[in-house]
Amino acid sequence: MEVQLYVYDLSQGLARQYSRALTGVQIDAIYHTAIVLNNVEYFFGQGIHRKVPGSTHHGRPMQIVPLGHTDLPLDVIEEYIDSLQDIYTPESYDLFVHNCNNFTQDLAMFLVGKSIPEDIRSLPETFLRTPIGQMLRGQIDQSMRTMAQAPDAVSGRNVARSLPTAKPAVKSTTNGRITATTANGTTPQTHATALINAVPALDTPGQVHFISSLTELDRLLDAARHSCAVIFFTSATCPPCKIVYPTYDELAAEAGTKSGAKLIKIDISASPSAHAVAQRYQVRATPTFITFLKGQKQDEWSGANPAQLQGNVRLLLQMARSPQHQHSTLKLPTFQRIIQKPITYTRTPPLDKLLVKIGPSFSQHSSVQGLVAYIKAREEKGMTEAPLPNLHAFSEHLTSSFSSLPPETHFAVIDLVRCAAIDPRVSSFLAAEQDHEHETLKTLLTHAGEDFSTAPYNIQSVSLQLACNLFTSNVFQERLFHGHSGSPLRESIETLAAQCLLSPHLNARSMAAALVYNLAAYVHNARVHNAQTGTDTHDDDDYESAAPSDDLSAALLESITTFSQLAQASSTNTNTNKSTATNMGSDSGSGSSNGNDKEAFHALLLALGMLLYAAPPENMLWDLCRAMDLREVLRDVRSSNLAVKSEPLLKEVGDELLEKGAF
């Protein structure tokens, strides 16, 4: 698809005519820009808008700049634009620091790796350098804001979004703990990153299906074989039938579409094919109603009684619901809830020291300097005032030079990308690198072809944190949860988690469990929703296919079963180090490991509970738990002298899920 930049002049020529006389600097236009591709014009005003090109109140663009070509799928582009909605809000608009040109710059960088023209990007700075610019900043911002955000400023023909999303205002989970939502841990702004199914899709009202043949009827009954169906036999010459028409329409709307119920109406006098339907069920009078439950005939009655119709249909809809999952009746407060946020790691280290660790051969490249400047600006001013750097150039530099860097510097490069990836614009770029098959992530998340369980701890930790931060992106989540379960991206993420679950470092196991938590959150949310509502949607896109692999589940169980041994060894090493430090007259020992033990064990049990809650009986995880005698393992932990024996999740996972809720 061709990508174009539409350039407009908000001053309608006045800037070119009077700017030099007023400011001493020639300003050709007050630029408003939009990105156009696939016959949609995207721009920022009262939020992000999608219009038919040229249909806005700005009229014809003064210039159309070809930016290049993108091969990104439309759904990826829409997911990325959706991820920008928390940054480009109506309240955040500022003519000089956060305007339509910042939006087109970010989108252009994502689509083609190219900036919009420099004279457009630098216009605010050029104007503010003049004395009158500083003096009139407030008045000009207000007048231009009116032009960009007034009701008629977003007039024009809308283009519907192909992937609407709803994002709740929620708390963020950062560095493994629940904290109030902040922008990068500093400025309190609400750039929330929600899991894509944290808010279940709203049910749409159902409708009556009008049919006139057996073929149409059989199709609808087959679609309702897991739910229920009602056939309303009526006739154009039947006055009593009209009495129950409004009631039947209301019941269809009430049933909704997610239930799978089909409310069908047929006029048996309309045609011979319609009469054939009545003959099949031996219907001779109207109105007559026949109901079906799970594919089998349930009931039949005649007569125009709205109250009877309401009672019978509502009872049928209730009977069609799947029974509540048995786990919904257990004492599992930790798991009987929707997971709103992924776990992310937002701490930013001293960037100048990080560059020193990397070394000048890599860090002095212009793309690296641009990325560092962007992170600093984001930390200082927030995401809204930090335009994206050239991520394409950075990716090319990283993938071409990473293998030649000294191995001891790799962790610092990964940490730099981790810091950037907390921004959904960056993580979306990394997730959408399809042309190069996610070359940047493949480069960073491959430990020289070796097992991550034996990698240095600093490599384990920053790699796991980077993987967790990728969940800030809707694009990444869609790729991970709705893509093919055997995709290279998903395999590399699961392999990283599985191998680090067997790390000799407790902290690495804790972070690996956090990654499993993120991986399990999508299917957990779907299970919780179904367990609470009794809904069984039988969608073609089965959410169970998004569950973590059996190999990853097995690695998690092994990490739990070997935890006690690792914790005791860690405690022994800690005591030895303390003794050595005391004998040397030093108080700089490594300290107690009890805190690390508790945190790591809690993270492991939390991830396991996420995988077990409402899992179907045929899930391989139940067999693995029995084969590894996990319930006894947890009992041994509770009876031991370890600091983790008081962990509250021991009761929820061990007593409730593995004992009362096991299959």
Using the predicted structure, report yes or no on whether residue 541 has a pLDDT greater than 50: no
% pLDDT > 70, the chain: 82
Highest-pLDDT range among 130-139, 398-407, 444-453:
398-407
> In a 3-state reduction of DSSP, which class is residue 605?
helix
Q: How confident is the model at residue 446 (pLDDT cuts 50, 70, 90)?
A: confident
Per-residue model confidence (pLDDT) at position 468? 97
Strands 209-211 and 262-267: parallel
pTM of the predicted structure, to 2 decimals: 0.79
What's the pLDDT tens digit per position in 476-499? 998 888 875 568 889 999 999 999
Report, as residue numbers or ranges, the catalytic residues.
32, 100
B/e letters for 634-652, b = 16+ CB within 10 Å, e = fewer, are bbebeeeebbbeebebbeb
Count CB-CB contacts under 10 A for residue 607. 28
- The CATH-assigned architecture of domain 2-154 is Alpha-Beta Complex (3.90)
Topology (CATH level 3) of domain 209-323: Glutaredoxin (3.40.30)
Tens digits of residue pLDDT in 224-275: 998 999 999 999 999 999 999 999 999 999 999 888 899 999 999 999 999 9
Residue 537 pLDDT > 90: no
What does the alpha-carbon distance between residue 569 and residue 591 come to, in Å, rounded to a whole number?
A: 14
Q: Of all helices (H) and strands (E), which one includes residue 45?
A: strand 40-45
Q: Quote the CA–CA distance of 20 and 27 in Å, as a whole number.
A: 7
Digit-coded pLDDT (tens) for 578-636: 443 333 333 333 334 566 788 999 999 999 999 999 998 899 999 999 999 999 999 98
How does residue 96 score in pLDDT terms, banded at 50, 70 and 90? Answer: confident
pLDDT at 434: 62
Pairing mode, if any, of strands 40-45 and 31-37? antiparallel
* Alpha helices for 483-639 (secondary structure H): 488-500, 506-533, 550-561, 563-583, 594-612, 620-627, 630-639
Q: Is residue 36 within a helix (H) or strand (E), and if so which, with residue range? A: strand 31-37
pLDDT at 566: 86
Q: Give the architecture-level CATH label for domain 343-576+591-660.
A: Alpha Horseshoe (1.25)
- Reported as half-sphere exposure (CB side, CA atoms, 13 A), residue 411 has a value of 14
User: Which of 104-113, 222-231, 478-487, 555-564 is predicted least confidently?
Assistant: 478-487
Exposure b/e, 120-137, CB count within 10 A at least 16 = b: bbebbeebeebeebeeee
Average pLDDT in the chain: 84
Task: Tell me the per-residue pLDDT of 312-369, one tens digit each, with 9 for 90 and over.
Answer: 999 999 898 877 788 888 999 999 999 999 999 999 999 999 999 999 999 999 999 9
**Domain edges within the chain:** 2-154, 209-323, 343-576+591-660
Question: Distance between terminal CA atoms of the chain?
Answer: 51
Over residues 363-385, mean pLDDT:
92
What's the pLDDT tens digit per position in 519-532? 999 999 988 887 66
Is 60 exceeded by the pLDDT of residue 165? no
